[in-house]
Chains A and B, each alone.
Chain A
Amino acid sequence: MANLFEHEDRRVIPNWRSFEQTIFLGELNSLGNKNSSSVTDKASIDEYINEWDANKTLIHASELISAAIVNNKKESPKVSEAASFILENSKSATPSQISVSKSIVKSREEYNYNEIFEKIKIENLNEFIEPNEISLKINILKSRIKKFPYNPILYVELSRYYSIIGQEKQSVKAMQIALHLAPENRFILRSATRLFLHFDNEGNDYMDFIHNFLRKSPVTQFDPWLTSAEISISTLRNRNSRLIKKGQDLVNSKNINSFNLTELASSLGTVELLNGSNKKSKDFFKIASKSPNDNSLAQLKWAATKDKQLEFNVNSFNIRNSFEALALENFGNGDYNTSLEFALKWFIDMPFSKRAVMFGSNLSSMLLKDQKKSIALLNAGLVSHPSDPQIINNLAYAHALNNNSAEALKELNKVKNTIHIEETTKICLNATRGLALFRAGLYDEGRTHYLEAIESTNDIQDRDLNWIAILNYAREEILIDSEHVEYLMQTISKIPKNVSSIEINVLRKDVEDLHASRKSK
């Protein structure tokens, strides 16, 4: 049976995208609303215009466009004239004269990420995370680092690519260098937070490391984007953050604009929600919703599942890259196909993120009953999580449901005994093996694994898992018209109807329908 997507826990952990895209999303903008003047405000480029008028040469044109770009005076028609002159005489111009001229003549082009996201389909998913392409990008970055070893951004980008192809050691090493070079930079600290939480497991102390690093950094208490990250890690660790009060002060500050506060307000709202203080939580989420980013929007969507008073329509916001929130919104509305489309975008937006993979594969497998889509997404997820037992389990589950038991068993055999596996995942792996054996015609062995799994769910007192295991097992017995069907159906009838998990409700209906159709024959 599949590991379900966990709707329960969500924290405002910083999202990690390329440097360019993060800039585009505005998450690296300076804080504050104040409008202090710049030294170039009063600068004049008249002398350069006069010289251009008097000479009309390539060099005077390029001096004028240089003056315009430095002093932010690109609007003058004379500047456009000079840039056009260079482009018309490009045969005699240098590459830089041409490129600066182009930057003046053309207004800043809308970042083409949206265009990229529009192209994503389940059929071409692999093209976006092709390991060879990523390796190529890694090689380019490595050669740049060789030439520019003090540029911390290059190490963060390198770390991100390594994380996408699941190379933990190299990814962590690159990020540690970036942290060493720029220990107080927002982009680097937020990227590092995401990375170290991503690779945190029982065999390392990454969460401790990055939590301590954030707490010790002097900027964390002044920069709401970092204060938010610290508070979220604290809640993940079931600790009280020392920065709650600071965070509240920042949120109440009049000098910081709403967008810069959105993640912090949603972190504080989450803390209050988890503490059962719905009134305070609502106030913080209200602040977070003034000018949300994709992360705070997804958090709001998650919070609304806990407190119905927070319910809102994601579509009323026009937020860049809000794929997670839109996937959840459409899921909640029962539009599973649209939800899957957004899940794919969510995955490509952050290819190292397992949540998108688990969400999309569950949706495909259990609700859309499209195992091929589930398999495609899970295989893509394996690029960054090559040994992840949950992904492997769900992949084997999809193969087995697709009646490809050999492939399912092959996947299950890839699970390494050397790594730590959570108890719930162990149970799922056992049940999935049962499923694969049933589909291979080895009913007794399959039954044994299912019964063991069901027993284990009782041992850990996981009610939902118990029901899922029973439902999955019952389906297999119905399919072979076994003698155990009626007893199992009686058991199923004791499962309450319309439980909170959509997957359980759907699975139950599927099993009951299957039973009814078999019976009518």
Chain B
Amino acid sequence: MDNNAAHSLEGLTLKTGWKVLKKVEKTDNQTGSFFSVCYLVEKDDTISFLKAFDIMKFNSISAGESMVDSMNEMTTVYKYERDLSNFCKSKNVDKVSFVIEAGEETVVGHTFSIVPYLIFDLAKGDIRKTLDFSENLDYAWRLKSLHDVAVGLKQLHKIEVSHQDLKPSNVLVFNTESKIGDLGRSMCKSMDGPYNHAVFTGDWTYAPPELLYGFYEADWNKRVFATDCYLLGSLIVFYFTGINMTALLRKHIPDEFSWDLWRGSFGEIIPYLESAFTESLIEFESNIKKSEYLSELKNLVEFLCDPLPNRRGHPKNISSIGSNFNLERFVSKLDLLKRKAELKINVSNG
């Protein structure tokens, strides 16, 4: 630790004027801080969130890699997240948590004294702090948050950015608004990024089934946007069940057909996967306590999470010209559901 400058920022005032208040323990994920050390920082009476890149962590997970390579990789990741954030900001994307400042600090007395960092708006936390699965949980809040996320994802898709790592810890809550966090694993068609050639850059716990079975759509657009569609559907499932769609699917897939054991082709597994998907949807429905939302929520999940990437997306998109994975119809549906739920709250309050 002594040798690690990323852990030694507390109490310093950075060259950019930010005063580092305290280190934040990983009680929740904030902006995907696996390779980083997080701090609260303050400037002009605004408290924000700093993510300091941790070269030691990078090196520790890149077994066998030289320190120079690790530094190069870390620098690439840092620059990519910073530049992608700026790119999105310039394209009027507003439902994504952006880097508000980027810099690097030299902390003397350490073997690796340079600490690159990114500063973000401070969120209340990720949605895991807010989601409560008891009976009291407000459907209006959930639907509004999901609508915000869908809007954010649609905005990213419009500028050909695929998030790839949409999961509960990457949905940040700011007062009444939810925003997508952590663009670090995203892919952008017009920017050369560290992950652009990977088939999947997100968390395998949330991955769509075709990727877990080793089936990769060759077409970049189809592959990455189909993945994002699935992740959005899976997030809806999480908001109402506390479990993501991939885990639900796995629960309903007999062990013989699991991605760990299956040695056949993806084509052979499809009917069995569809059967598990049917069971998962039925289970999803059993978690929806308010029957007035049941059918529409089930449809959203069914369209977004179809285990066949070619069939994923809204049926009206699939049967018409344009991208199957256009999220517009899902955004509209979530907006409608959100309004319906808000109306009910207003009526009951009134």
Q: Do A and B come from one complex?
A: yes
Q: Which residues from 50 to 74 on chain A have a C-beta closer than 8 Å to any C-beta of chain B?
A: 50-51, 54-55, 57-60, 62-63, 65-67, 69-72
Residue of B nearest to A86 (CB): B242
Q: Does any Cβ of A come within 8 Å of B131's Cβ?
A: yes
B287 touches A187 (CB 8 A): no
Report B-chain residues with C-beta under 8 Å of the C-beta of A219: 268
Report A-chain residues with C-beta under 8 Å of the C-beta of B244: 66, 70
Shortest B269–chain A CB gap in Å is 8
- A93 and B133 contact, Cβ closer than 8 Å, known pairs A39-B212, A67-B205: yes
A148 touches B278 (CB 8 A): yes
Shortest A66–chain B CB gap in Å is 4
B256 touches A29 (CB 8 A): yes
Q: Which residues from 17 to 43 on chain B have a C-beta closer than 8 Å to any C-beta of chain A?
A: 25-29, 34
- A95 and B287 contact, Cβ closer than 8 Å, known pairs A150-B274, A151-B274: yes
Assembled-state Cα–Cα distance A185/B282 (Å): 24
Q: Which residues from 242 to 295 on chain B have a C-beta closer than 8 Å to any C-beta of chain A?
A: 242-244, 246-248, 250-251, 254-264, 267-268, 270-272, 274-275, 277-278, 281-284, 286-287
> Contact check: which of A57, A93, A148, A153 meets B272 at CB < 8 Å?
A153
Residue of A nearest to B127 (CB): A59
Q: Does any Cβ of A come within 8 Å of B214's Cβ?
A: yes
Report A-chain residues with C-beta under 8 Å of the C-beta of B340: none
B274 touches A66 (CB 8 A): no
Q: Which residues from 190 to 214 on chain A have a C-beta closer than 8 Å to any C-beta of chain B?
A: none
> Contact check: which of B27, B134, B211 meets A39 at CB < 8 Å?
B211
Shortest A416–chain B CB gap in Å is 38
- A153 and B286 contact, Cβ closer than 8 Å, known pairs A70-B250, A144-B278: no
Q: Sort chain B's interface into a size bin.
A: 35 or more
Q: Does any Cβ of A come within 8 Å of B309's Cβ?
A: no
Q: Does any Cβ of B come within 8 Å of A34's Cβ?
A: yes
Shortest B147–chain A CB gap in Å is 21
Report A-chain residues with C-beta under 8 Å of the C-beta of B116: none
- A62 and B242 contact, Cβ closer than 8 Å, known pairs A23-B254, A40-B212: yes
Assembled-state Cα–Cα distance A94/B286 (Å): 9
Q: Which residues from 185 to 205 on chain B have a C-beta closer than 8 Å to any C-beta of chain A?
A: 204-205
Q: Which residues from 63 to 104 on chain A have a C-beta closer than 8 Å to any C-beta of chain B?
A: 63, 65-67, 69-72, 91-97, 99-100, 103
Assembled-state Cα–Cα distance A286/B79 (Å): 65
Shortest B256–chain A CB gap in Å is 5
Report B-chain residues with C-beta under 8 Å of the C-beta of A41: 260
B270 touches A58 (CB 8 A): no
> Contact check: which of A45, A153, A186 meets B274 at CB < 8 Å?
A153
Q: Does any Cβ of B come within 8 Å of A485's Cβ?
A: no
Assembled-state Cα–Cα distance A468/B299 (Å): 64
> Contact check: which of B241, B242, B256, B268 meets A58 at CB < 8 Å?
B242
Encoded as 1 (CB less than 8 Å from any B CB) or 0, chain A from 139 to 166 comes to 0000010001011111000000000000
Assembled-state Cα–Cα distance A139/B25 (Å): 54
B27 touches A54 (CB 8 A): yes
Residue of B nearest to A30 (CB): B264
B267 touches A184 (CB 8 A): yes
A182 touches B270 (CB 8 A): yes
Q: Does any Cβ of B come within 8 Å of A36's Cβ?
A: yes
Report A-chain residues with C-beta under 8 Å of the C-beta of B98: none
Report A-chain residues with C-beta under 8 Å of the C-beta of B205: 43, 45, 48, 63, 66-67, 70-71
Report A-chain residues with C-beta under 8 Å of the C-beta of B131: 59
A182 touches B251 (CB 8 A): no
> Contact check: which of A43, A62, A108, A153 meets B204 at CB < 8 Å?
A43
Report B-chain residues with C-beta under 8 Å of the C-beta of A45: 205
> Contact check: which of B168, B259, B271, B281 meets A40 at CB < 8 Å?
B259
Shortest B125–chain A CB gap in Å is 11
Encoded as 1 (CB less than 8 Å from any A CB) or 0, chain B from 165 to 188 comes to 000100000000000000000000
B243 touches A62 (CB 8 A): yes
Report A-chain residues with C-beta under 8 Å of the C-beta of B27: 54-55
- A19 and B268 contact, Cβ closer than 8 Å, known pairs A26-B256, A96-B284: no
Assembled-state Cα–Cα distance A328/B274 (Å): 39
B272 touches A28 (CB 8 A): yes
B133 touches A100 (CB 8 A): no
Shortest B141–chain A CB gap in Å is 15
> Contact check: which of B241, B243, B256, B283 meets A23 at CB < 8 Å?
B256
Shortest B212–chain A CB gap in Å is 6
- A185 and B268 contact, Cβ closer than 8 Å, known pairs A70-B205, A148-B281, A151-B275: yes
> Contact check: which of B132, B250, B264 meets A69 at CB < 8 Å?
B250
Shortest A148–chain B CB gap in Å is 5
Q: Does any Cβ of B come within 8 Å of A188's Cβ?
A: yes
Q: Does any Cβ of B come within 8 Å of A31's Cβ?
A: yes
Q: Does any Cβ of A come within 8 Å of B128's Cβ?
A: yes
Q: Does any Cβ of B come within 8 Å of A459's Cβ?
A: no
Report A-chain residues with C-beta under 8 Å of the C-beta of B254: 23
19 more contacts with CB within 8 A, not counting A67-B247, A94-B133, are A23-B256, A28-B272, A30-B262, A30-B268, A39-B214, A43-B204, A50-B26, A57-B128, A58-B133, A58-B242, A66-B246, A67-B205, A93-B133, A95-B241, A99-B251, A151-B271, A153-B274, A153-B275, A181-B271
A→B interface (CB under 8 Å): 19, 23, 26, 28-32, 34, 36, 38-41, 43, 45, 47-48, 50-51, 54-55, 57-60, 62-63, 65-67, 69-72, 91-97, 99-100, 103, 108, 144, 148, 150-154, 181-182, 184-188, 219
B→A interface (CB under 8 Å): 25-29, 34, 128, 131-134, 168, 204-205, 207, 211-212, 214, 240-244, 246-248, 250-251, 254-264, 267-268, 270-272, 274-275, 277-278, 281-284, 286-287
Question: Which A-B residue pairs are the 9 nearest by beta carbons?
Answer: A30-B264, A66-B247, A96-B241, A30-B263, A153-B275, A67-B205, A62-B242, A182-B271, A97-B242
A-B contact pairs, 8 of them (CB 8 A): A28-B257, A30-B256, A34-B263, A45-B205, A62-B242, A70-B212, A96-B241, A153-B272
